[in-house]
Amino acid sequence: MPSCTKCQTIPDIHSSGYIEIFTTVPQLNQSLHDLMGRKQLEHPLVIPFVGQEALAEVCRLIASNFNQAAVDMFYCSTFSENEREKSQPLSFSQFYSRVQHPDYIEIMRHSLFTSHMQPIITLADQSITGYEFLMRPTSEDYLFYPNELFEMARQSGLQSFLDSAARIASLKVSASHLKNGTKRFINFLPSSIYDPAHCLRTTFQAVNAFKIDPNDLVFEVVETEKINEIDHLKKIFKTYQQEGMKMALDDVGSGFATREILLELKPDYAKIDRSLISHSDQDPVKQKHLIEMVSMSKEEGITLLAEGIERKEEVDFCREIGIPLGQGYYFGRPAKEPVTAIQV
Name the DSSP letter for residue 214: G
Q: What is the pTM of this model?
A: 0.92
The predicted model gives 180-187 an average pLDDT of 97
**What is the predicted pLDDT for the residue at 133?**
98
| pLDDT: which is higher, 45 or 230 | 45
**What is the predicted pLDDT for the residue at 9?**
78
CA distance linking residue 68 with residue 92, whole number of Å: 10
For 205-218, write each residue's pLDDT tens digit.
999 999 999 999 99
Spatial CB neighbours of 80, under 8 Å, sequence gap ≥ 6: 14, 16, 17, 18
**What is the predicted pLDDT for the residue at 1?**
38
2 pLDDT more than 70: no
Type of residue numbered 330 = Y
**What is the predicted pLDDT for the residue at 12?**
85
**What is the predicted pLDDT for the residue at 201?**
94
Quickly state the pLDDT bin for 5 (edges 50, 70, 90): low
User: Percent of the chain scored above 90 by pLDDT?
Assistant: 81
User: Percent of the chain scored above 70 by pLDDT?
Assistant: 94
Residue 340 and residue 304 in contact, taking contact as beta carbons nearer than 8 Å: no
67 pLDDT more than 60: yes
The predicted model gives 139-165 an average pLDDT of 96
| pLDDT: which is higher, 202 or 82 | 202
Nearest to 261 by CA among 219, 298, 226, 303: 226
